[in-house]
Amino acid sequence: KAGVTQTPRYLIKTRGQQVTLSCSPISGHRSVSWYQQTPGQGLQFLFEYFSETQRNKGNFPGRFSGRQFSNSRSEMNVSTLELGDSALYLCASVAGDGTDTQYFGPGTRLTVL
């Protein structure tokens, strides 16, 4: 099976812009979670989707949003970018059948200038 894929791998944006990141889970997996990784805060949970429904959301401002499509692909959007949004954004794929193992994608490195 192909692993979790994320596009793009690298992004450079300026403050005030918005960005959309994409994640394709492992084939057959129905759940996708998103995390932000920074040197200072570590890995922080953003949100989790299962069958197009957001089941849980972390403690991030409303500028961070996401969605999941019927083919389980997921996107996250960050509007009005701030310098502090520079981070590695990771998505994780879960089978969603009661198993818990999360498989991470390679991440999207976002730099906000």
Partner 1 sequence: GENVEQHPSTLSVQEGDSAVIKCTYSDSASNYFPWYKQELGKRPQLIIDIRSNVGEKKDQRIAVTLNKTAKHFSLHITETQPEDSAVYFCASRKSYQLTFGKGTKLSVIP
Cβ 48 to partner 1 shortest distance, Å: 5
**Residue 21, both tokens:** 């990141």
Return the number of the residue (14 or 56) whose C-beta is nearest partner 1.
56
Return the number of the residue (25 or 105) whose C-beta is nearest partner 1.
105
CA separation for the pair 62, 84 (Å, rounded): 15
Return the number of the residue (32 or 81) whose C-beta is nearest partner 1.
32
Structural contact between residues 111 and 13, judged by C-beta atoms closer than 8 angstroms:
yes
Cβ 51 to partner 1 shortest distance, Å: 12
Cβ 56 to partner 1 shortest distance, Å: 5
Q: How far is residue 59 from each of residues 27, 28, 33, 46, measured CA to CA in Å?
A: 29, 29, 14, 7
AA letter at 62: G
Cβ–Cβ contacts within 10 Å for residue 49, how many? 26
Binding site for partner 1 (CB under 8 A): 31, 33, 35, 42-45, 48, 50, 55-56, 58-59, 90, 92, 100-107
Return the number of the residue (33 or 74) whose C-beta is nearest partner 1.
33
Cβ 86 to partner 1 shortest distance, Å: 16
CA separation for the pair 80, 78 (Å, rounded): 7
